[in-house]
Structure 1
Amino acid sequence: MRNFHLAGRSTVHAQNAMVATSHPQAALAAIEVMRAGGTAADAAVAACALLGVIEPQSTGIGGDCFALVQPRGEGRIVSYNGSGRAPMAATPEWYLERKIHSVPLTSAHAVSIPGAIDAWEVILRDHGKFGLDTLLQPAIKAAEEGYVVAPRIAFDWKNQFDKLKSGTNTERYLLPHGKPAVAGDVIHQPELGKTLRAIAKDGRDAFYKGAIAEDMVETLRGIGGLHTLDDFAGHTTETTIPIGTIYKGHDVWQCPPNGPGITMLVMLNILSRFDLTKFPAVSIERFHLEAEAARIAYMMREQYIGDPAQVDVDVVRILAKDFADEHVSKIRMDRVIDLPNIAPPMNPSTVYITVVDKDRNVCSFINSIAHSFGSAIVSNKTGVLLQNRAGGFRIQPGHPNCIAPGKRPLHTIIPSLVTKGGRAVMPFGVMGGQYQPVGQTHVLTNILDYGCDVQEAIDMPRGLHYEGVYQLEDGIPADIVEGLKKLGHKTTSVVSPLGGGQAIWIDWEKGTLTGGSDPRKDGCALGY
């Protein structure tokens, strides 16, 4: 139990249904959908569509989506891969011939086909009671009638001012009065509202075919893109079974590659060989072990993971006990192990939504436009801000994540679901680009090793070992920072906090739900 003398958040409790998002208005929209008889999937889509308007730096219909859904919280879990593909003309040779050795993050080449809208329709087909015509209404209202900018969103808007000033159509759509929006400003996006109305009326085809797709293609090709109408019309969502591992008697599930959830599972396999409870939750030893597990797992990801539709990814071998043991033996408590410096191509943003409805349908749902404000390219007439997820590709023939026609890039967004004995106990996720596997591991071990409730687990200070430097939040005490330096870690503080998380714990015996939401964002957990 938290100390009520100190600033903090209480967990949120309910019996019927619960949602946690990064914005109160989105959480409220999800609750209203479920009160009206909608499912967890319905609520997640409604909340996400609204977030695409009111949290434009993180998500939108110009981005991608992944989800894990478990009907009634028992039995089969379904994984949805709503990530987009590179244009069919995007060969590595095309780029190399033009001396382009990495994908420019604010160019048309960074824009993969947005997969979110198709994924929403497929998820609703399988698990929803309502359609996009109903569920997009809160987003349409916010776009057309205006929404009030929240503090964390204003913080990101200010930090991305230079990017937005030099983008394509971003000054027009995202810099009202020529300056960043501030908390309390009211923003209108009528063009985006019109686009959402078309999707509400005609579904995914309104986005991937016809006038909206034509405008997106015209915009992209006008600034050098290789996209065609066929690239948009041919997009599909993949439905698969999740991959998982066991940690402290719980099954932990992730979407398979090209999602990066396998990275988190490898981290858990490594950390399961140590007794974290021997060390305090905020300690030199705990943060050192977490960093070493992350460095090993990220190295694995860089070496082996790409789009399995075009690359052979041996998931079974990577998640095998022997694979973890091979690396665990190298970890030392008195120094940093010598590993290659891994520098992933991108470190983007996102939103995560977790929902459990009154029938205990569980939806772990994540949607992203990649970097903050994506590619900084807004389609000419539609108001759609396009992702820069293709910036995650390598232009390196032979690399598993090398760009290729119709290929999906190695992603960063990962929804997670924890079960025990086949029953869902916690749908959760941690946003924050490359931090996500570390963040999920941090939150889960806070709960299963250190006995935290979901809010305490999310609140706890964080660190990310990225590109050879241990990035540490302000909440980590100075003596721990110094101790990590003595072990050989290069450390730095971070300007923006690391990610944001949401979690719901399901207590089947009591029939209750407990929710937590990250104070690093504007949002909350709500239940009824």
Structure 2
Amino acid sequence: MRDFHFPGRSPVLATNGMCATSHPLGAKTAIDILECGGNAMDAAIAGALVLGICEPQMTGIGGDCFVLWQQGEADVQALNGSGRAPAALDAADLRNAGETTVPIQSAHSVTIPGAIDAFCYLSETVGKLGLDALLAPAISAAENGVPVAPRAAFDWERDATVLQGRARDYYLLDGQIPQVGQLFRAPGQADVLRRVAKNGRDAFYTGEIAEDMINTLTALGGRHTVEDFANAACTHTTPISGGYKDTDVVEHPPNGHGATALLMLNILAQFDIANMDPFGTLRTHLEAEAAKLAYDARNRFLADADYTTRLDHMLSMDTAKALAALIDPGKAMADATQISGNTHKDTIYITTVDRDGMSVSLIYSIFNGFGSGIASDKFGILLQNRGSGFTLEEGHPNELKSGKRPMHTIIPGMLRKKGKIIMPFGVMGGAYQPNGHARLASNIVDFGMDPQTAIDAPRAFSDRGDMKVEKGYTDTVRQELADMGHTVSIPETPIGGAQAILIRDDGVLEGASDPRKDGCALGY
């Protein structure tokens, strides 16, 4: 239990249903859907779509999603809602043009948005209320506007420089960055969602809406075609998992990088983390070293599922033991991570649990802040730049190729104990996400923290040679890390964000949401 003398958040407790996410209006939407008889999938979809209006720098209908869900005695299911590169685009084209990476704010960085196809499919096959009911709250938010929240305003100011062309008209207010409390409206998106509510996914991927996106992109040199959009389709996948002591961590398989989190946990399992100071120097150092090694493996092996051939190697405990043997408990290694492409990403996460025990873990993103910075001319659909997650290195598993999915940073997660899902969770923060999954699981398993305490706890992340250490650590820890050879900094923004719902043995739901974001957990 937290010390009530100090600022903090109490867990949110309820019995009928719960949502935890990064904006209160998204959480309220999800609860409204549950109270109207929707299930956890309905609630997650409706809430996520509202978040695209509340946090447009993070996510939107021009982006991708990944989803895990589970109900009753059934196995965890997974859906890949990520899009593909245009069929006419190849890494060789960009290499021949003198590029060494996919230009991060260019039409070439825009992969086909996959989220709408996934949401429509899940609404029809898993949900209960129907697509029109799930889109109605987002249509209202887009039409009537939502007040800009404090963290959203902070990110807006930081990221708005990437907005180009018509995107500046749609995502600035009279040419100015929105301030806290100002209303942001997206009437073009309201129109798009009305058409999807009436005619389903084809309204988005064919006809006038798709042509608006295609024409905008081709005017900027993109190779996108009508066929690319018409052929967009989500994919059922099989979750991957790994044990950390008495708890399994369930992740989405590639092209997401959940395997990185599992490898990192396997490396950490070689050390007696539970007997260390949770916020001390040694644990922080070992976590950083494990991240360097796990991310290096990610950068070499992970890609589109059809191109990932070394997944078993990444998940092998023998691999983890060999990597753990490379770690010096008293000295930082040279940074092993060589990121292919760009690594700063923005994301929203939403988790829901309903009264019948269905749990959903859904993550939804446009990649960088404001994605590609390109919005479609007519409807103002902000387009993701997931294509910048490809590498241009010839022969690499993650090399940009026709119709291929890029390696993704966004990963939904779940904790499972004795065959039962006990906590859907997610950690935002781009490249930090696998590190965040490992840290959250360790906070709970090694140190017995409740979900809110585990989320509140200070974070550190060794990111391309920069050891980012949040203000929640002591100066002594920062100095000792520097003495070990880490290049230590205090990050300008806090590291990531997280949400979780613990499904307790007594049936009570315990929601937790990160104070680093605007959001909350709500239940009823």
2:281 is aligned with 1:278: no
Q: State the distance in 1 between where 2:35 and 2:459 align.
A: 36
Q: Write out per-residue CA displacement over residues 303-333 of structure 1, whole angstroms, 9 at most, x where no aligned residue.
A: 1111122x14232222111111111111111
Q: Quick one: distance in 1 between partners of 2:47 and 2:56?
A: 13
- Is residue 2:413 matched to residue 1:449? no
Structure-1 residue corresponding to 2:145: 146
The aligned runs of 1:462-501 (5 Å cut-off) are 462-501=459-498
TM-score (norm. length: structure 1): 0.98
Which amino acid is the alignment partner of residue 410 of structure 1?
A: M
**Equivalent in 183, 188, 194 of residue 186 of structure 1:** 183
Tell me if structure 1 keeps the 8 A contact 2:512–2:520.
Answer: yes
In the aligned structure 2, how far is the partner of 1:354 from the partner of 1:323?
A: 32
Q: Determine whether 1:334 maps to 2:330.
A: yes
Return the alpha-carbon distance in structure 2 between the equivalents of residues 281 and 126 of structure 1. Answer: 43
Give the secondary-structure state (helix, strand or coil) at the position aligned to 2:332.
coil
The aligned runs of 1:135-214 (5 Å cut-off) are: 135-164=134-163, 167-214=164-211
- CA-to-partner distance for each residue in 1:336-393, whole Å, 9 max, x for gaps? 1345342342220100011110001010000000001111101000121000110111
Q: Specify the alignment match of 1:437 in structure 2.
A: 434
User: By how many angstroms is 1:54 displaced?
Assistant: 1.3
- Tell me the distance in 2 between the aligned counterparts of 1:135 and 1:348: 27
Q: Distance in 1 between matches of 2:277 and 2:129?
A: 47
Secondary structure of 2:174 counterpart: helix
- Secondary structure of the 2:510 match is strand
Q: Equivalents in 2 of 1:274, 1:365: separation in Å? A: 31
Q: Partner of 1:19: helix, strand, or coil?
A: strand
Structure 2 counterpart of 1:3, which letter? Answer: D
Q: Shift of the alpha carbon at 1:161?
A: 3.1
* Secondary structure in structure 2 of the residue aligned to 1:136: helix
Tell me the percent identity.
47
Cα distance in 1, alignment partners of residues 291 and 14 from structure 2: 35
Retained in 2: the 8 A contact 1:90–1:404? yes
Tell me how far apart the structure 2 counterparts of residues 161 and 349 of structure 1 sit (CA, whole Å).
13
Letter in 2 for 1:301: R
Equivalent of 1:319, from 315, 327, 349? Answer: 315
Query: Is the 1:66–1:83 Cα contact (8 Å) retained in structure 2?
Result: yes
Alignment partner of 2:103: what SS?
Answer: coil
Per the TM alignment, residue 189 of structure 1 is displaced from its structure 2 partner at its CA by: 1.4
Cα separation, 2, equivalents of 1:351 and 1:428: 12
- Structure 1 residue corresponding to 2:516, chosen from 508, 517, 520: 520
Q: CA deviation at 1:421?
A: 1.6
- What is the identity, as a one-letter code, of the residue corresponding to 2:112? I
Deviates more, 1:123-132 or 1:212-221: 123-132
- 1:208-357 matches, within 5 Å, as 208-309=205-306, 311-345=307-341, 346-357=343-354
Letter in 1 for 2:233: T
Paired position in structure 2 for 1:121: 120
Contact residue 267 and residue 297 of structure 1 kept, 8 A: yes
From the superposition, tell whether residues 312 and 453 of structure 1 become closer, same or farther in structure 2 (CA, over 3 Å): closer
Instruction: Tell whether 2:407 aligns with 1:410.
Output: yes
After the TM superposition, which of the residue ranges 493-502 and 340-349 deviates more from structure 2? 340-349
Aligned to 1:64: 64
Residue 18 of structure 2 corresponds to 18
Once the two structures are superposed, residues 412-445 of structure 1 have per-residue CA deviations (whole angstroms, 9 ceiling, x without a partner) of 0000011112111000000010010111111111
Contact 1:342 1:468 in 2 (8 A): no
- 8 Å Cα contact 1:44-1:353 kept in structure 2: yes
Alignment partner of 1:423 is 2:420:
yes
SS of alignment partner, residue 3 of structure 2: coil
| Unmatched tracts of structure 2, length 5 or more | none
Q: CA deviation at 1:197?
A: 0.8
**Distance in 1, Cα, partners of 2:269 & 2:336:** 23
Deviation at 1:461?
Answer: 0.7
Q: Pick one of 453, 456, 459 that aligns with 2:456.
A: 459
d(CA) in 1 for partners of 2:351 and 2:19?
6
Q: Distance in 2 between matches of 1:273 and 1:417?
A: 22
Looking at structure 2, the residues matched to 273 and 130 of structure 1 have their Cα atoms a distance apart, in angstroms, of 47
Contact 2:29/2:47 (8 A) holds in 1: yes
Match of 2:447, SS state, is coil
Contact in 1 for aligned 2:466/2:487 (Cα 8 Å): yes
Instruction: Please state whether the residue corresponding to 1:79 is helix, strand or coil.
Output: strand
1:38 corresponds to 2:38: yes
User: 1:50 aligns to what SS in structure 2?
Assistant: helix
Q: Counterpart of 2:459 in structure 1: which amino acid?
A: R
1:55 is displaced (CA, Å) by: 0.8
Shift of 1:492: 1.2
In the alignment, is the contact (CA less than 8 A) between 1:195 and 1:383 conserved in 2? no
Within 2, Cα distance between the matches of 1:403 and 1:118?
22
Report if aligned partners of 1:140, 1:196 keep a CA contact under 8 Å in 2: yes
Residues 172-197 of structure 1: CA deviation (Å, up to 9, x unaligned):
10111211001110122111111111
- What amino acid is aligned across from residue 247 of structure 1 in structure 2? Y
Shift of 1:124: 2.0
Q: Is the 8 A contact 2:69 2:78 kept in 1?
A: yes
Unaligned runs of 5+ in 1: none
Quote the Cα distance in structure 1 between the aligned partners of 2:206 and 2:252.
28
Contact 1:75–1:422 (8 Å) recurs in 2: no
| Alpha-carbon contact 1:306-1:313 (below 8 Å) kept | no
Relative distance call for 1:230 and 1:260 in structure 2 (3 A) is same
DSSP 3-state at the match of 1:501: strand
User: Does the Cα contact within 8 Å between 2:40 and 2:359 map onto a contact in 1?
Assistant: yes
8 Å contact from structure 1 (residues 418, 424) kept in 2: yes
- Provide the rounded CA distance (Å) in 1 between the counterparts of 2:409 and 2:123: 24
Give the structure 1 partner of residue 4 of structure 2: 4
State the distance in 2 between where 1:190 and 1:123 align.
25
1-structure distance, mates of 2:278, 2:308: 38
Match of 2:74 in 1: 75
Contact kept in structure 1, 2:162 and 2:372, CA below 8 Å:
no
CA distance in 2, matches of 1:195, 1:148: 21
Say whether the 8 Å CA contact 1:75–1:423 is kept in structure 2: no
Cα distance, 1:162 vs. partner? 2.2
Offset of residue 131 of structure 1: 2.0
Aligned position for 2:106? 107
CA distance in 1, matches of 2:373, 2:478: 36
For residues 139-163 of structure 1, the C-alpha deviation after alignment (integer angstroms, 9 at most, x for no partner) is: 1001111111100000011112322
| Structure 2 CA distance for aligned equivalents of residues 134 and 175 of structure 1 | 29
Aligned-partner SS, 1:178: coil
Partners of 2:331 and 2:207 in 1: CA distance:
59
**Per-residue deviation, residues 223-273 of structure 1 (Å, max 9, x unmatched):** 110100100001111101100100121111111100100000001111111
Q: CA deviation at 1:99?
A: 1.2
Q: Aligned residue for 2:398?
A: 401
